[in-house]
Amino acid sequence: MIARLVIQTTVWLVAMAALLFVPAGRIGWPGAWAFLIEMALMGFGLGFWLARHDPALLAERMSLPIQRGQKRWDKIFLAAVMALFILWLVVMALDAGRWRWSSMPLAAQALGALLILLTGHIGYLTFRENSYAAAVVKLQKERGQKTVSTGPYRYVRHPFYAGAVLYFLGTPLLLGSRLGLAMAPLLIAAVAFRAVMEERLLAAELDGYAAYAARTRWRLVPWVW
């Protein structure tokens, strides 16, 4: 499993590097290097932690994005969001890397780096509490899935998606792309849509989830939504 983790994470990092540096037409882009370093730390750090503490969840996270038992709408959703994510990276590479239409002050880039690190920490807290945090929307009956209400789930019903909101804001800040920041609401809206759709499945099919959702008011951002 460790070998597979290393291979998949390395391929993922190389793919993101290509999506950034090829459109940018240069490798002398400090923001992109900082971004990739953070992605490597998060990918390998969380992966190795899961390999030691929750290999079953790691296996789920490394599975194909199209799976048996996955809802049909989620298969379509993941394909669409992946295309949007790729477009987002390319737009930021062209904007801040090649054409240099945009730039961010150092303080904004530092804030972006911090938001990405917070994303990784929220991911760790989520995985620590929820062994069923698969990458696809499905009910894991074979693993005895149950409702989780501890840790970050005490505050929001979808802490991993809450972390994604920070990621979508932090990445364009770190890369220095105002166009990327302008596109971030599209990705945030996509995450919000998936949260609502996933809740419908869980409320209908997972014991205790409807009661949990009634107790925990906020989906992504406390006191907001």
- pLDDT tens digit sequence for 75-128: 999 999 999 999 999 999 999 999 999 989 999 999 999 999 999 999 999 999
Task: Tell me which DSSP letter residue 96 carries.
Answer: I
- Token pair in block for residue 158: 């979808």
How far is the C-alpha of 86 from the C-alpha of 165, rounded, in Å? 17
* pTM as predicted: 0.95
Contacts of 178 (CB under 8 A, 6+ apart): 95, 101, 102, 104, 172
Contacts of 209 (CB under 8 A, 6+ apart): 147, 199, 202, 203
- pLDDT tens digit sequence for 27-63: 999 999 999 999 999 999 999 999 999 999 999 999 8
HSE-CB of 72 using CA atoms within 13 angstroms: 0
Domains of the chain, CATH where assigned: 2-215 (1.20.120.1630)
